[in-house]
Structure 1
Amino acid sequence: MLEVLHVLSTSPEALHHAVIFLFNGAEENVLQASHGFITQHPWASLVRAFINLEAAGVGGKELVFQTGPENPWLVQAYGSAAKHPFASVVAQEVFQSGIIPSDTDFRIFRDFGNIPGIDLAFIENGYLYHTKYDTADRILTDSIQRAGDNILAVLKYLATSDMLASSSEYQHGKMVFFDVFGLFVIAYPARVGSVVNYMVVLAAVVYLGRKLLQPRRKTAHYTKDFLCGLGVTLVSWFTSLLTVLIIAVFISLIGQSLSWYTHFYVSVCLYGAAAVAKIVFIHSLAKRFYYVNASDQYLGELFFDISLFLHCISLISLTFQGLCLAFVSAMWVAFPLLTRLCLHKDFKEHGAGGKFLVCYLLGLSAPYLYVLYLIWAVFEMFTPILGRSGSQIPPDVVLASLLAVCAVILSSYFINFIYLVKSTKRTTVALTLVCAVTFLLVCTGTFFPYSSDPASPKPKRVFLQHMTRTFHDLDGKVVKRDSGIWINGFDYTGMSHVTPHIPEINDTIRAHCEETAPLCGFPWYLPVHFLIKKNWYLPAPEVSPGDRAHFQLVSKEQTPWNSVRLTFEVTGPSHVSFYVRTHKGSTLSQWSLGNGTPVTSKGGDYFVFYSHGLQASAWRFWIEVQVSEEQPAGMVTVALAAHHFSGKDKRSPELDALKERFPAWTFPSSWVCTYDLFVF
């Protein structure tokens, strides 16, 4: 940003529009700085478009993974100006589906400012993201140069564009967009994409329909074989997925999850080989026992038609749902169909000879190369994320499923070769052997998940919170008080690999959920308890931070609309989490926060995150509780967690000592916090 600012400020070229460079802080404080700018700054109302720079990794290509909304001219601007484009509507729809547990300033500008924009992010080497290894020296100069070339070019294009002044006039619908191997961007309106998709479907229907219009005897024979082949293909896909899932679940149960985290090839050899082997095996059985008397050429053509039909169904389904990523399925129908039509005569006369094979592979090269390009980006982004996706979802199950889907897609137009070759025995045996050997090596713990290699570190992330908890009853008396170091591992392996180094962190100190307390009675920084339920609580002395949080009930009053308003006041450190749980017969009707409508977290409790700068007055707010029946045990439980993230209050001798004992392949983050619970 600084270099682009320098270039623009010293350039003699006049810009038609002003450019604001916004350097946001407080991003991990739930994007507060961008929210502050777009809702409070006097310039905010003048902004017509924005480019948001993000990172989910350390360098590499910067991916355009969000645009708009409903402003296709922005995509066209990027496509026209970017020198090294890397953009995909697939990434946009995957990100906006919520699968990736992340958020960016893009949402703030879009939802609170109603401003269209472009979201770019570095995605390579996400293993280092938000760790001590995430340093400037690890970002290649080429990555900065590439990003600078793209951003400067797009910025100049927008700043001299006539569209920017009246951008609302060009707002219409979604856009299909994707780059072609970084050379250029193809972009067109989603409604045009739907028309193209249905035209491709129509062509496939005509092609398949002609075979059903043959003489009756041939048609009946073809239809029967087609339906049986369709069943065999679906069975091969289902059993392929089932096989890798069984392996993945077994690997997870024996404690060898994430064996591929540092060595990705392990997942390909284990799950990829198993998926392909099962597909080949099922079709080999069908060829041997069912299609005994059919000719190889007939079977090759039949299973090509089946693959075309299944991709056609996928295309119809995705288009009907309004997903722009349907263009990928359109490629998998259009290119193979065109190739088959061009080679049909040659195949009839000479069979699957060398010339046919070369031409067939060339015809399929476009969809295959593009999908491989997409698959690379998917695994580049997703693999590191699986190392910080919580303790609830087995990452091996996720990765095995992805690899099985990849195997199904990539094998679809090669299934027919199983019926064209004399034998698949060697292929099946080789794949099975690769899978079996890898499986044995994984089971014996040969592949350690993490690495502290300075050249390519892949650390395990751990949160350590030294806390003191105090629980009060309805009369304000302390009924429970304890202290300890609360330990959260951010991946599925928990503390199993850490226990040999720190024996006291084992299942005997697993943290138990306080059923009557909001969010299990722990000081969550953000409400991620639905992702992390395996945690540990190691007893330790009490903490007494200097800037301790003070929480008090200022007033309790009955409202004319028959609810009880509780007004609270909080002082303390810069980061505070406030939790609310209503008792049976009570509901939280409104509060003085946000737009006044309370919103629950995924666990059903109410969660509020509050932070302030170095100087701040007391935080005063109220909640209203509607009571439908008498509550002898109180109507609501509230709790306050105060997080000390900086200064001397952040540390404790016990916390520092424990942190030092963690092995080099971990990245522990630590701080001090307090937790106070009250009933009213």
Structure 2
Amino acid sequence: MGVSRSTKWGPARTLLVLALVLLGAPLYTLYHQFLLPSPNVHPQVSPLPLHLYSTDPPTHSYDPTTSLPHPSESTILFYAKYLSEDIGYRTPGTREHAQADAWWYDKVQEIGQLCRRAVEKEPGRKLECNVWRQQGSGSHRFDIMSTRLYKTYVDLSNIILRVSDGSEDSKSDAVLINAHLDSTLPSPGAADDALAVGVMLECARTLIETPGWEPTHAIIFLFNNAEESLQDGSHLYSTQHETAPTVRAVINLEAAGTTGPELLFQATSEQMIEAYSHVPRPYGTIFANEIFSSGILLSDTDFRQFEQYLNVTGLDMAVVGNSYMYHMRGDLVENIQPGVAQHMADNTLALLRYLSSSDSPIPSLAKGFDARPRTVFLTNLHWFFVYSFTTAKIMYVTLFIASLALWRIARVQNVGAGFGAALAAMAGAVLAANLVAFLMKYVLKRPLSWFKAEYYPALLYAPAVVFGMLIAQIPFSRPGKPSMERPIFMALLLFQSFLAAFGQVLDIGSSAAPFLGAVGFFVAMCVDTVLTLRTRSSFSNGDKPSAHDVRNGGGDGMPGQVRMGGQELSLWSYVIAMLIPLTAGVQMLAATLVVFVPLTGRIGRDAPAEFIIASIVSILGVFCVSFTPALAHRFGPRFLRQMLWISILSLGLAMAFFCAQDPFDRMHQRRLFVVYKENMMTGGQHLHIAAADGAPGFDTLVHAMAEKFGVEGTPPTRVTMDAYNGDWDILYPFSTQFLSPYKIDLPLDPTYIAPTPVEERFTVTAINDSIDDIAGTRRLTLKIDHHGIIWTVIAFDAHVLEWTLDNDPPDKFVRHHVREASFYGTDTWHVSMLIKYPTVAPSDGMTNASSRGLKVNFIGIQENQMWPAKKSEADGSPAMKLFQELDVWLDEVTGGSVDAALLGCVGGETVI
């Protein structure tokens, strides 16, 4: 039997075929990655418009097939809408926060009553519900962003529901599920975190209404009331509630966005990862887990408190898509994508069913768990894969050894040069992308031009990635020299399989990424090798090769080497090798950009946001199109240069497009922080403005603001931001890490009489004050009275020997910041301490009194002077009058592309 002549496809035909995979695989992957379930709603009740419901949720829905209850998205969104819009901004310390606490306590008590009715309906059913409203005070050290900070709280509350079978055994080993009722300063918090508290209540309702359901292990639903004030509510529960010692595992529900599936971004034990495998729509990977645990993301959740004070394992999950709305005014129900609530509810319900069942690992977790899970887990096209690090090492090392064997069988030569070409392509991609970032930021003055869409960075930097990979191949492509196609292909297989094996030996779970890439290349090379060996076998039996099949210096450099299709790899090899990178790689790139792109608008003026995004796109982009350098050599040097010119043209068009883009619009806004501060000691009034990004336009906007609202003829002052800038202590330490502030002098209203410290009762005094001259110490209690003031902060310099905040204060003279949160109507808090005395030695120009006293800077937010939170009840103060006018002016001047957090503050400095 003869061998038919090969027909060599040209570049156009080849690229057309490969384009079907190049475009189809990513689009198919993205469709499935962000696919959400259809919302469950009552047949007669549409989930929107929610304003049609008064204070009662819509009728609960039942599964039409099983007639069993299931979570209703319309009910969940009703809860989120009522909390975020009908009650409103629920900042700890505000009246709205207290209203949400009271309303939600009533809702949880209704679940308790539902539980009792369910037992009455099914006599003998083992089901018991206990409800608590916990209220208490405490303090804790809260280190964040490499900064030491202290928190104290007074009379804050939590609402707790425990569902058990009524036995002590059931109650002794419990799973805790947590979400927070409060919202942060400038946001109504529909997704963050009213959505999650609604999910929890719906899950509790569904379980209780399910006939015959009985929990072997208790479920504790914690609706904590102070996460945004730096996790005070979860600290209160973990350290003071009677059920806390029974908790064996935690599920924490959060939101940093309003769209897409809920992401599992932190899992801390093998048992809980295995539990997650039981959810109907898993979405989580070891890559996200390791990125978050590395500290690269400056984010934190209540999960920290449960780990630190309960020493328990768990799962941390959040909605992260469209996080442009995170902590913004736009965090409203209308911006929550349909299906988001259903996805979170369905997965949460499945977890609770499993963890409360007799198959649950909960009892074993009482004996301890690995602090760092040794489990690889990942989601691809809705398939959830879980295997141990031991299995991973066996698989990855085996693949590397098999790749070495395949290299020998395939007899591919020049692999050393192939390694050089492959590594040059990777380096070229990263360098080219970062060069474009440099040009956009420093030469063209267009930083963050890609900000307003998560996929925009891929459009800007993908041409740079391809250009960098192609230009790096020029030294390896010479006319008359052997083609580098097969050597590069084999080198990519060996490199990725080695990287996977080596990384997993070091217990890096993300080594699954190069392993997946290597699998594709391995199968592709196996197919190509089989086709090659069959061709050689046919030729050895006397068949005459075609002109295309005989090439001097074939693909492996051996004269007269016979190959099917000449030197070229089989086109099937590319199709196979492309599939995994274009699915797994695109999924990783999309998930990473969804988190990092909106985040770059808040990481500071001087942060290298351009280079962070360029590096992410180039590194993950190289993985997605790792086959590019081999393909570049398929048709010789001329084709390579043609592709290089096309990539240059594409890059030029991309840069031109993004140079014309404004980074912000109404749905992707710039965050401004605005503080109207009255100094209670001097009577001065100033407007402080800061941004947290490096995009152009901020300086111009501030100068226009000063001209409009400031003292005539007085330009704004650029202010140094450090730990001693007390004007921004309400946002410390975020302020020192990210904000670039200005200060505007405001004209004084002659008709306005500023409140005195006595009238406002915002004072810092010392009680129980005594000095030990022999020991050189001073013992005192700082008493802070803050009637009508919330989120108070004090800052002072001292060498603290002991105090009520921490058992281990720094053993040196240093600046301390103490932040407070209290329940509405609670207006006093204390800190007792023993400090070295005098505070500092007398120096030139200092009086003895000032040197021996304790200088304290204090500031707080006036509870009734936050815009737009208190928009409906503006009190006529200068701050609220200015905020109302400023908000309208900003909308007109910027076209709605700015979201300003407008805070009226009072403060000063005193020596005690």
TM over 0.5: yes
* Residue type at the aligned position of 2:364: S
Give the corresponding residue for 1:52: 252
Indicate conservation of the 8 Å contact 2:463/2:647, yes or no.
yes
Give the corresponding residue for 2:301: 104
- 3-state secondary structure, aligned to 1:21: strand
Q: How far did 1:157 drift?
A: 1.1
Query: Could you list the per-position Cα deviations for residues 306-351 of structure 1 after superposition, in whole angstroms to 9, with x for gaps in the alignment?
Result: 3234324533553344221112122223332243134213246314
Q: Determine whether 1:513 maps to 2:700.
A: no
Structure 1 residues 286 and 16, CA, compared in 2 at 3 Å: closer, same or farther?
same
Q: How far did 1:126 drift?
A: 0.9
- 3-state secondary structure, aligned to 1:20: strand
Equivalences for residues 341-420 of structure 1 within 5 A? 341-347=526-532, 349-351=563-565, 356-420=570-634
- 3-state secondary structure, aligned to 2:607: coil
Give the corresponding residue for 2:29: none
Give the corresponding residue for 1:185: 384
2:889 to 645, 661, 665: 661
* Residue type at the aligned position of 1:295: P
Give the corresponding residue for 1:550: 763
Q: Determine whether 1:490 maps to 2:692.
A: yes
User: Which piece of structure 1 moves more, 633-642 or 19-28?
Assistant: 633-642
Give the corresponding residue for 1:242: 431
In 2, Cα distance between equivalents of 1:4 and 1:650: 46
In 1, Cα distance between equivalents of 2:266 and 2:456: 32
Indicate conservation of the 8 Å contact 1:518/1:637, yes or no.
no
List alignment gaps of at least 5 residues for structure 1: 471-477
Per the normalisation by structure 1, the TM-score is 0.85
Structure 1 residues 39 and 19, CA, compared in 2 at 3 Å: closer, same or farther?
same
Q: CA RMSD in A?
A: 3.3
Equivalences for residues 83-162 of structure 1 within 5 A? 83-162=280-359
List alignment gaps of at least 5 residues for structure 2: 1-199, 534-562, 749-753, 866-874
Give the corresponding residue for 1:474: none
* Residue type at the aligned position of 1:495: F
Q: Aligned residue pairs: how many?
A: 641
- 3-state secondary structure, aligned to 1:412: coil
Q: Determine whether 1:435 maps to 2:617.
A: no
* Residue type at the aligned position of 2:254: E
In 2, Cα distance between equivalents of 1:261 and 1:514: 25
Q: Which has the larger radius of gyration?
A: 2
- 3-state secondary structure, aligned to 2:345: helix
In 1, Cα distance between equivalents of 2:488 and 2:887: 59
- 3-state secondary structure, aligned to 1:385: helix
Give the corresponding residue for 2:470: 280
Q: Determine whether 1:37 maps to 2:37.
A: no
Q: Determine whether 1:504 maps to 2:691.
A: no
* Residue type at the aligned position of 1:122: V
Give the corresponding residue for 2:265: 65
* Residue type at the aligned position of 1:286: F
Query: Could you list the per-position Cα deviations for residues 247-294 of structure 1 after superposition, in whole angstroms to 9, with x for gaps in the alignment?
Result: 323322354222112245543333221121121122034313xxx443
Indicate conservation of the 8 Å contact 2:672/2:692, yes or no.
yes
Percent identity, aligned pairs only, is 21
Per the normalisation by structure 2, the TM-score is 0.65
Indicate conservation of the 8 Å contact 2:307/2:313, yes or no.
yes
Query: Could you list the per-position Cα deviations for residues 180-213 of structure 1 after superposition, in whole angstroms to 9, with x for gaps in the alignment?
Result: 43533211223433343333334345555789xx
Indicate conservation of the 8 Å contact 1:540/1:654, yes or no.
no
Structure 1 residues 379 and 274, CA, compared in 2 at 3 Å: closer, same or farther?
same
Query: Could you list the per-position Cα deviations for residues 562-608 of structure 1 after superposition, in whole angstroms to 9, with x for gaps in the alignment?
Result: 544454221112311222345xxxx444432133424999xx84322
In 1, Cα distance between equivalents of 2:669 and 2:878: 23
In 1, Cα distance between equivalents of 2:669 and 2:522: 47
Give the corresponding residue for 1:301: 486
User: Which piece of structure 1 moves more, 49-58 or 192-201?
Assistant: 192-201
Indicate conservation of the 8 Å contact 1:569/1:621, yes or no.
yes
In 2, Cα distance between equivalents of 1:88 and 1:59: 18
In 1, Cα distance between equivalents of 2:765 and 2:678: 18
In 2, Cα distance between equivalents of 1:236 and 1:354: 20
Indicate conservation of the 8 Å contact 2:257/2:325, yes or no.
yes
* Residue type at the aligned position of 2:884: D
Query: Could you list the per-position Cα deviations for residues 361-402 of structure 1 after superposition, in whole angstroms to 9, with x for gaps in the alignment?
Result: 224423431121121111112111112222221322221111
Q: Determine whether 1:323 maps to 2:508.
A: yes
In 2, Cα distance between equivalents of 1:209 and 1:677: 77
In 2, Cα distance between equivalents of 1:537 and 1:558: 42
Indicate conservation of the 8 Å contact 2:679/2:907, yes or no.
yes
Q: How far did 1:405 drift?
A: 1.2
Query: Could you list the per-position Cα deviations for residues 642-680 of structure 1 after superposition, in whole angstroms to 9, with x for gaps in the alignment?
Result: 222446589432233223211212111111113323567
In 2, Cα distance between equivalents of 1:139 and 1:94: 26
In 2, Cα distance between equivalents of 1:35 and 1:597: 19
Equivalences for residues 586-625 of structure 1 within 5 A? 587-598=799-810, 605-616=815-826, 618-625=828-835
- 3-state secondary structure, aligned to 2:214: coil
Structure 1 residues 501 and 187, CA, compared in 2 at 3 Å: closer, same or farther?
same
